Amino acid sequence: MSTDRRDLPDVPEPHAVVPALVRDYRRLLRLFPFAYRRAHGAEMLGHLLDAAAPGRSRPARGEVVDLLRAAAREWVLAPLGSTAERRRWGAVGVLVVLSVVLGYPAAASIGGAAGILGRGGGLHGVLAFAPLAPGWALWTVGLLTLAVGTVRGAAVVLGAAAGTSWVLLGGMAYLGPSGGGLFPVLSGLGWGLALTATAMAAGVLAGLQGLAQGRRRSERAVRVAAALGALMPVVAVVRAALGVPAWFPEYASPVTDLSGGTVVVGTCLLVGGLLVARRARQALPVLAGVGAAVVVGRTGLMGSRGLEPMDVVDVGNLWALLAIALVVTAVARWVVNRVDELSEVRSTVMLAG
């Protein structure tokens, strides 16, 4: 026993447990992501065994439900980081990068929708030619809330933006075979994932801000990035309201306008830069997954570009695109977690030296 252990309320001495119980607890703990198990698995097992009544041979139902719920939560949040501290930095990085990067497609969609409405195209025209405009409009409001209001409020609005975009994409997928094909859904899936990632990052930050004020510098970076991201769509709407023509085409794409070499070199520089920085690399997996979905959905890799008729895109392509985004995110997370482990070992060795 430790000598500095304080008087705890009735913490029993460890007692012998039934081997089947240990096996069952180990199985349940294996449901958690590896990085989480590495951080907490051993102490959780010790806790569960300490708490087990003598003679018990199976985990209690409440324990099983609690562990399943906690494991599911960890898997959902795993793309942003394996611990809450890493998730904080992952969320900050995702919000800063996506706020700035998504400003352009948001402005293109909202500006296009405003132009259509200004020409008397009506809601039908907006849904036909700028289908995700309602989602982008909510996203812009969310960013404005993030820039000048509360993170919690922003998380709610950004969540609504993501939900709206998925409803619209679902509707387009449902109508796709009889409508204009599934190509618009394929090219919009990346934006749906991007809006979801933004909402998730804001939600994580909001949860942690309830416990403590955010680090001032990262909080300022998020607010500035949000203001910058919201600026382009706001300007697009103002120009449309004033009758000034949009300065970009309604279907501009920052990805397809770049050459292959520029995209590859830019991606390598971005990934390398993010991997080196301890905090910024936590955002890499989510950004990589979203980036993969946006790029693949807009290139000829899946036969979705330059093909006539467009409805050669089928539901399988949509699932494949989501799978690609998931795999890229998982692989990038694995790499980042290993880099984190190496840097932990390195700092331990340096401290010991």
Partner 1 sequence: MASKPAHRPLQEPAFLVLSALAQGPAHGYGISKDVEESSGGRVTLRAGTLYGAIDRLVAAGLVEVDHEEVVDSRLRRYYRLTDDGGTRLAVEARRAEAQARQALERLASRRAPGSRRGRAVTGGLGEVPA
Residues that bind partner 1 (CB under 8 A): 1-2, 4-6, 8-11, 14, 39-40, 42-51, 62-63, 66-71, 73-74, 83-85, 87-88, 152, 207-213
90-118 exposure pattern, b = at least 16 Cβ within 10 A, e = fewer: bbbbbbbbbbbbbbbbbbbbbbbbbbbbe
Nearer to partner 1 by C-beta: 152 or 239? Answer: 152
Question: Least distance in Å: CB of 97 to partner 1?
Answer: 21
Question: Least distance in Å: CB of 302 to partner 1?
Answer: 38
Q: How far is 26 from 200, CA to CA, in rounded Å? A: 30
Nearer to partner 1 by C-beta: 152 or 305? Answer: 152
Nearer to partner 1 by C-beta: 69 or 338? Answer: 69
Q: How far is 305 from 226, CA to CA, in rounded Å? A: 32
154-179 exposure pattern, b = at least 16 Cβ within 10 A, e = fewer: bbbbbbbbbebbbebbeebbeebeee
Nearer to partner 1 by C-beta: 210 or 260? Answer: 210
Question: Least distance in Å: CB of 53 to partner 1?
Answer: 13
Nearer to partner 1 by C-beta: 24 or 63? Answer: 63
Question: Least distance in Å: CB of 55 to partner 1?
Answer: 17
DSSP state for residue 3 in the 8-state scheme:
T
Q: How far is 319 from 162, CA to CA, in rounded Å? A: 18
The answer to whether 301 and 256 have CB atoms below 8 angstroms apart is no
Residue of 112, 114, 126 lying closest to 253 (CA atoms): 112
Nearer to partner 1 by C-beta: 14 or 260? Answer: 14
Question: Least distance in Å: CB of 303 to partner 1?
Answer: 43
Q: How far is 48 from 25, CA to CA, in rounded Å? A: 8
Question: Least distance in Å: CB of 269 to partner 1?
Answer: 30
